[in-house]
Amino acid sequence: MKIMPVLSCLQDRTDFRCPWKKGHTIQGKQRKEATCCYSEMLRQVLQLFRPQATRDAWPERTLGRLLTSLLSGLEALEGTAEQTPPCLPTLAMAIRTYFLRISHYLEGKGYSPCSWEIVRAEMQVALSTFPVPAERTSRKRRSSMQETPLR
């Protein structure tokens, strides 16, 4: 994927209405319930890369690294699934709807480099603000975000 200067893509910005970025901190019971949905969020990120037009927009090596990172994170979470309660249906639906808006946006923009730059920036914020399972410390979160090709 050709890296676009952010300033040249400002006209393509949109509000995807991220359900967990509403300006309030998720704590206590809400946080525990939200972390159960982390695997759903990773599945939805993976779904963004299903269309061939999406895969064509990314360099093969970069896309391979990103998908490998996402799949290994999902497999690790699913390995602990028996001890994790299921995702709340309302939050699962909010996550799916959020990613559907992103998918429609990319399709509507023809998977252009600027649309991917906007989505990349959105994903950086969304992934860094989503409440992660307790076993993933902030240090691990930071290092995994630095390793991901979304940067």
The average pLDDT across 12-25 equals 76
Statement: residue 143 has pLDDT above 70: no
Q: Of all residues in the chain, what percent are helix, strand and coil, respectively (each to 5)?
A: 65, 0, 35
Q: What is the pLDDT of residue 103?
A: 96
Confidence bin at 101 (pLDDT 50/70/90): very high
> Considering the domain 28-147, what is its CATH architecture?
Up-down Bundle (1.20)
In this structure, of 17-31, 67-81, 85-99, the range with the lowest mean pLDDT score is 17-31
Question: Between these two residues, 25 and 80, which has the higher pLDDT value?
Answer: 80
Tell me the percentage of the chain whose pLDDT exceeds 70: 71
Q: How far apart are CA 75 and CA 62, in angstroms?
A: 20
Residue type, position 8, single letter: S
How many of the other CB atoms lie within 10 Å of CB of 44? 19
User: Exposed/middle/buried for 144, CB within 10 Å: 0-12, 13-18, 19+?
Assistant: middle
In this structure, of 3-7, 13-17, 43-47, 87-91, the range with the lowest mean pLDDT score is 3-7
**Domain ranges (residues) in the chain:** 28-147
pLDDT tens per residue, range 59-83: 889 889 989 998 998 888 777 656 6
The average pLDDT across 142-147 equals 46
Q: What is the pLDDT of residue 54?
A: 81
Helix and strand numbers, DSSP H then E, in the chain:
7, 0
Confidence bin at 151 (pLDDT 50/70/90): very low
pLDDT tens per residue, range 47-59: 998 888 888 888 8
